[in-house]
Structure 1
Amino acid sequence: MKADNFALQSYLSRIGYHGGAKADIATVTEMMRCQLFTVPFENLDVQAGKVISLVPEEIVEKILNRNRGGYCYEVNGLFAMALQSLGIPYQFVAARPMFYPVKRPKTHMAIVLRVNGEEWLCDLGFGSYGIRAPMRLSLVDVEVKQDADTFVLNKINDHEYLLKALVDGEWANQYAFDLSPQDWIDFVPANYLNSTHPDAIFVQKLLIVLHDSAGRKILFGDMLKTVKNGRVEKQTIAPEDIVSILSDKFGLTLNAENCSTPHKF
């Protein structure tokens, strides 16, 4: 995954990564954590009636130069550029969201990378219950604690994995994936569906998620949910306050430079 305007140092500055960056799992883990804490998962452009661009240079311009976030293809695509700059081999995988009442297509993108002969799942774009650090694929059926969250990888069959998260004391399916490598262009149809289809959650409601060491902040429609060390606070936001919440809680400023199309709120 390359973009002519991507520079590793600019990326590291954007996410607040300090220190040396090496082709090892410690660097990957810290980069993933820094990006999750600084680059929001967000669908502002979809809410503005836009189809999300998958042009790599436009992703870099949006997130690095305009201080925006994005959804899975954008934030994972940007992370893949950093992996490539470090010389870390990886592949994109197509994942099937599993929390819907009916079977859904494989519309989610995640990354599987290889370091010292080990394969690791990385994902910076699954929103509320996304993983917060790389997960070793060889470590199946073992609970993995990541800050206040807990995850587990199960094997559905010989080639397919299922990611689960512990939600309110119950294991909740998040998504399933296999190791069939996907090219960047393979996600164009799924991106169009998520950007335009009336049944897509990104079309229906505003969704912003920003992680931190204690949990996450989630703005879903007009509901702001703050998760801190497992405790949840909810607050209904008035329409006239949405813009200030985006700025104060998520570091997102709506202006002519950032968002050229009027939003629904």
Structure 2
Amino acid sequence: MPTYTDEELALYLEHIGYRQDARQQASQNPLACLTDVQHLHMARVPFESLSLHYSRHRLLSLEPEDLFNKIVGNGRGGYCMEVNTFFACILRSLGFTLYSVGGRVKGVDGYKGWDHMVNIVTINSQRYLVDVGFGSNGAPHPVPLEDGHEFVGVAPTRGRLQYRNLEFHIDPNQRVWVYSVQENETAPWRDMYHFVETEFMAGDFEVMNLRTMTTPQSFFVQSVMCMCTVLSEGKEGPVGLLILHRDYVKRRMGAESEIIEQFESEEQRVKALERYFGIMLSPKEQSGIRGLASELRAKGGHA
């Protein structure tokens, strides 16, 4: 299975601001190490769709070296299959035992096809869901695979895992892991996605990636988005979210959410990506969005 070199691992840990001896921590207290690395990763490596808009070719590679160059070398992120493939390589490089599986996201019309990827990490015989690529409703830390387990995500949001049958299963004995979210203590639980325990191969994700990055119905093809978590002052854990979606930037801290900037042109959006996420798009990248439905056009013409 692919891993990164010691030099690449050191560059990544510096990139996310992990200051301890990661391999020693992974050996002595693996769950604490995994949790800390995930927190720092999700605050520094955004969940984003930019390369599907600000690019001439709009093709996304899942090759580990391409991902390293994009994420660490260029300070970018990616969508689920990119960032979870990359994170799996990082965790293997730290000595963790894990495998990757496929999932289906639940939309307004029910579950779609295989379009999500998560990692399952085993620590002392206990397996954990580790997902750094689901966005604002994702789990920001490792979640034990225990039926009925509930946890606090980015408060006040709560998450839950259930191992159960789905309404469309023909065989009533079928079981999958269902990840659900409750936005606050009075809100209903909403199923976000489900995943299986069967290990998926690299070729499976290549097929999933091809469809997700090319079909016009894909959320990522339709929407320019970029988001990351906001850590507490002492970086003990996530306390909020910073989200750029189409023509605005929103900050959510606890139960409070506010739009902090709205834009009408590509120039404004490009500046916002640099200001809030540290992402600098080259002139060539900026020109890649021209003519797409996702382009922000200033009144009277092109941005």
Deviation at 1:3, TM superposition (A): 5.4
Equivalent-residue separation in structure 1 for 2:93 and 2:201 (angstroms):
18
User: C-alpha distance in 2, partners of 1:160/1:179?
Assistant: 8
What are the superposed Cα offsets for residues 145-196 of structure 1, whole Å, 9 maximum, x if unpaired?
1341310101123641100111252212111011000112211121111111
SS at match of 2:189: strand
SS in structure 2 of the partner of residue 133 of structure 1: coil
d(CA) in 2 for partners of 1:105 and 1:17?
A: 36
SS of 1:30's equivalent?
helix
Give 1:2's aligned residue: 2
The match for 1:236 is 262
Q: Larger Rg: 1 or 2?
A: 2
* Equivalent residue letter for 2:149: V
Aligned mates of 1:201, 1:146 — CA distance in 2: 23
Matched, 1:123 2:118: no
For residues 30-55 of structure 1, the C-alpha deviation after alignment (integer angstroms, 9 at most, x for no partner) is 11000000011111111135111112
2:153 maps to what in 1? 146
Alpha-carbon RMSD across the aligned residues, in angstroms, is 1.9
- Give the CA deviation at 1:261: 5.8
Secondary structure at the aligned position of 2:87 is classed as helix
> 2: distance between equivalents of 1:85 and 1:147?
28
1:167 aligns with one of 168, 183, 186 = 183
- State the identity %: 29
Cα gap change, 1:251/1:92 in structure 2, threshold over 3 Å: closer, same or farther? Answer: same
Query: How much has 1:210 moved relative to structure 2?
Result: 1.1
Taking the TM superposition and a 5 Å limit, the aligned residue runs for 1:1-265 are 1-2=1-2, 7-21=8-22, 22-23=26-27, 24-47=30-53, 48=55, 49-138=57-146, 140-148=147-155, 149-157=157-165, 159-167=175-183, 169-213=187-231, 214-234=239-259, 235-239=261-265, 240-255=267-282, 259=285, 262-263=288-289, 264-265=295-296
- Give the superposition deviation at 1:72: 0.9
Supply the distance in 2 between the matched residues of 1:193 and 1:261 (Cα, whole angstroms). 24
TM-score w.r.t. the length of structure 1 is 0.93
Return the structure number with greater relative CO, CA threshold 8 A, min gap 6.
Answer: 1
CA offset at residue 100 of structure 1?
A: 3.1
Runs of 4+ in 1 over 4 A off after TM superposition: 3-6
Q: Are the counterparts in 1 of residues 9 and 90 from structure 2 also a CA contact under 8 Å?
A: yes
Classify the secondary structure of the residue corresponding to 2:37: helix
CA-CA distance at 1:15 after TM superposition: 1.1
Farther off after superposition, 178-187 or 223-232: 223-232
